[in-house]
Amino acid sequence: MKTKTTLLVFLLAACAGQSAAQPAFNPDGDTLLNGTYYMRQVFYFVSNQGTVDLTINVQGNITFSGAGTYSFTGSVLNSSTSATKTETFTTSGSYVISASGEGYITPIYGTITNGNIIGLVSQGIFIGSIPGTNGCDSLFIAAPLGSTEATNATLNGSYTVAYFDPTFLPTTTALPGGDAIFNMTADGQGNIGNINATTYSGTNTTSSAQSLTGVTYAFTNGAAQLNFGGKANGSTLLAGTHLLYISPDGNFIFGGSYLGYDMFAGVRAATSAPSNYNGLYYQAGLDLDESTAGSTSGYPLLNSYYGSFTAFSGNIIGHQALSSVSLMNYQSLSQLLIFGGSNDFTYNDSYTLNSDGSSDDSAFGQHYVSSTNGLIRIGYGIGPNLSLNVALQAPTFSGSGVYLSPVGVVNAASSAPFTAQVSPGEFLTLYGSGLAPSSASASALPLPDKLNGVQVTINEVAAPITYVSPTQINVIVPYETNPGPVAHIQVINNGAPSNVVTELTGFTSTGVFTSNPEGGTGYAAARHSDYSVITDESPAQIGETVSVYLAGMGAVSPAVTDGRAAPSSPPSTTTASPLIYLLDTSGHYLQATVMFSGLAPEFAGLYQINFTIPTGLVSGKASLEIIGPDSDSFEALLPVTAQ
């Protein structure tokens, strides 16, 4: 399993009282949230010792104006005030959604200060979390009410449901957690009957079975009481009464316990391979890694996230904006990095599509179920990697004139999708239509900021350009684009401006160039010390110092003028030193020694890291992880030999 925890900072701070800049998204997608929605949000405040100090659930109706404001009516269950009684709660606030569907909602529950819910809307559903809030994890789901109030007849047919409760068995000292997946068939009259669930809890690597009988549901005011039976007493994962919400088309359900801090999501599941499981998806979820719980090496790690991924031909290139830290115990002080901010994690994964429409990945140990049309996917984790994941296929975007796709800004090296942060000096690829009159490439350094009549501005600063075509432009982010909070990107084709696309920014956005011309998968662009290319036939040797080429390592010293060749004497080094880890096919996860990190001399916008291959790796294809102060890329491979 790939590890997402290495760079996470070990801090004690909680959500409340954290300061955070409000992202200045363009509000050109505010109408994507319009009308009354059902919503549920769960919060987990976790100490550095792995205990849950505070839990909250908020659920009810949130009404969006379609113009940036909302009102909320519902209930709150706060473990610090009462573990047995919800409180009625009303409030109002604001939201901003960009054309891509990415945006934020200001906090609904007032005690969570500066914790904007950042997420994405597609298929009529909003999913999100609160990234960058140390010590607090949260998951938010909202789906619209239908024009006709849901009744028992609305819930009719077979559903597959993923369930997650990180506070299961709360009397233990560390997060034990539990998750489950089960099928249920509703008869449209309030009866479900028998449920056979596959469950995991704590550190268990094998599943358990839980059988329920006489399960019923009853809709009132458009929402349902789902009655599992029994009583939630710390020994039975699925028990008691849960509130169930349903999307207008009946294909998606979600909810959780009135008096608990769990969350479930379900789909009217496919019975064969989905007809359209490919392309860009928006995602949000919760992960609980129990693999080290109870050992001398550390505590379990809880993390919430939102992001996106691209699925193609059994591969995934994905991004997750993680909560900064929930808890972590490092094995050595050298692993303790005080970075702060959210962890922008990009990764490469593969999946197997099963004949029943489900799929399994190779990186996170998760099992997924998709709707028949592939538009919605839910998943849960195979212990000890417990989780809940909700993914929505992105809309199709098109426009007239000079049009920059709202999801068309990606890392030129790693192909990390548009939700990944943009950093100063990063190579970007922009996609759209009508972007240039014809194809053209820059022929010399310094790179021009106008090519074939085309300019790209990022926060109103002209960016160096390497290539333009009607559908694609390659640019370098100006170093003046300082982190926080967003970058506004616009293409100007011979005087005709495009729409403006908003991207979140960071200090770094690490991404390795690869042998795959599309980027993001395959072998890293890497060389031996004699400058020959590292390949299967000529792998990296244990103890050898090699060079890897990448994008997005941020600020350098001495500074380099945008678009100009990097100096060789002295070279420009990154102001933040990266960490390098290699994961071999036997599961050895070892840190490499970094010898140099900076701009590749005589190139523009190309970063280079020299590091020594650590002893202890076995021969084969090692996964390469490169960690900047606020980004983590775990995508490229590096052939290594121990011979």
**Which CATH number covers residue 565?**
2.60.40
> What's the pLDDT band for 174 if we cut at 50, 70, 90?
low
What integer is the mean pLDDT of 593-612? 97
Give the pLDDT confidence score for residue 298 in this predicted structure: 57
Q: Is 30 helix (H, G, I), strand (E, B) or coil?
A: helix
> Residue 352 — very low, low, confident or very high, per pLDDT cuts 50/70/90?
confident
Domain C-terminal end among 469, 504, 539:
504
Distance of alpha carbon 392 from alpha carbon 374, whole angstroms: 9
Domain containing 415 equals 403-504
Q: Which whole number is the average pLDDT over 370-393? A: 92
Residue 11, pLDDT > 90, answer no
Q: Which pLDDT band, with edges at 50, 70 and 90, does 233 fall under?
A: low
- 479-503 pLDDT, tens digit each: 988 766 899 999 999 999 999 999 9
Q: Are residues 495 and 545 in the same domain?
A: no
Over residues 467-474, the mean pLDDT reads 98
pLDDT band at residue 130 under the 50/70/90 scheme = confident
5: confidence class by pLDDT, cuts 50, 70, 90 = very low
Domain-embedded: residue 22:
no
Tell me if 61 is assigned to some domain: no
| Average pLDDT for 13-29 | 59
Mean pLDDT over 571-589 rounds to: 94
What are the phi and psi torsion angles at 31 (to 5°)? Answer: -70, -10
Q: Is residue 182 part of a domain?
A: no
pLDDT at 13: 29
Q: Is there a single domain that holds both residue 520 and residue 496?
A: no
Mean per-residue pLDDT over the chain, rounded: 88
As a whole number, mean pLDDT of residues 228-237 equals 79
- Domain shared by 484 and 523, yes or no: no
CA max distance for the chain: 77
Tell me how far CA of residue 104 lies from CA of 21, 70, 98, 452, in angstroms.
Answer: 12, 12, 9, 37
Same domain, 570 and 473: no
Mark whether 521 and 636 lie in a shared domain: yes
538 and 499 within one domain: no
So what's the pLDDT on residue 85?
82
Q: How far apart are CA 485 and CA 21, in angstroms?
A: 7
Per-residue model confidence as pLDDT tens digits over 62-72: 999 999 999 99
User: Do the domain assignments include residue 486?
Assistant: yes
The structure tokens listed for 185 are: 């068939």
Q: Report residue 340's pLDDT band, with 50, 70 and 90 as the boundaries.
A: very low
Please check whether residues 459 and 486 belong to one and the same domain: yes
Q: Does residue 100 register a pLDDT over 60? A: yes
Given this model, what pLDDT does residue 371 score?
A: 87
Both 482 and 530 in one domain: the answer is no
487 and 607 both lie in a single domain: no
Residues 420 and 525 in one domain: no
* pLDDT at residue 204 in the model: 87
Is 342 contained in some domain?
Answer: no
What is the per-residue pLDDT for 515?
Answer: 86
Which pairs from 406-410 meet CB under 8 Å and 24+ separation? 406/29, 406/98, 406/99, 406/100, 406/101, 406/499, 406/501, 407/100, 407/280, 407/308, 408/432, 408/501, 409/489, 409/501, 409/503
Interatomic CA distance for residues 606 and 637, integer angstroms? 19
Same domain, 429 and 468: yes
Number of domains in the chain: 2
User: For 133-142, what is each residue's pLDDT tens digit?
Assistant: 657 889 999 9
Confidence of residue 236 (pLDDT cuts 50, 70, 90): confident
CATH number at residue 433: 2.60.40.10
- The residue out of 448, 479, 504 marking a domain boundary is 504
Local confidence band at 308 (pLDDT 50, 70, 90 cut-offs): very high
- Residue 628's nearest CA partner among 605, 600, 597, 602 is 597
Assess whether pLDDT exceeds 50 at residue 160.
Answer: yes
Residue range 191-204: mean pLDDT, rounded: 94
Q: Has residue 462 been placed in a domain?
A: yes
Whole-number pLDDT of residue 299: 63
Residue 271 has pLDDT above 80, yes or no: no
In the predicted structure, residue 21 carries a pLDDT above the cut 80 = no
Please report whether residue 484 resides in a domain: yes
- Tens of pLDDT, residue by residue over 386-404, are 999 999 999 999 999 999 9
Percent of the chain with pLDDT over 70: 87
Q: Are 300 and 288 in contact (CB under 8 A)?
A: yes
Per-residue pLDDT, 395: 95
- Please indicate, yes or no, if residue 141 is contained in any of the structural domains: no
DSSP structure class, residue 4: -
**Residue 302 token pair:** 């809880």
Domain termination residue (choose one: 455, 474, 504): 504
Instruction: Tell me what pLDDT residue 53 has.
Output: 77
In contact, 571 and 547? CB cutoff 8 Å: no
pLDDT for res 52 = 73
496 and 419 share a domain?
Answer: yes
What's the confidence (pLDDT) of residue 15? Answer: 45
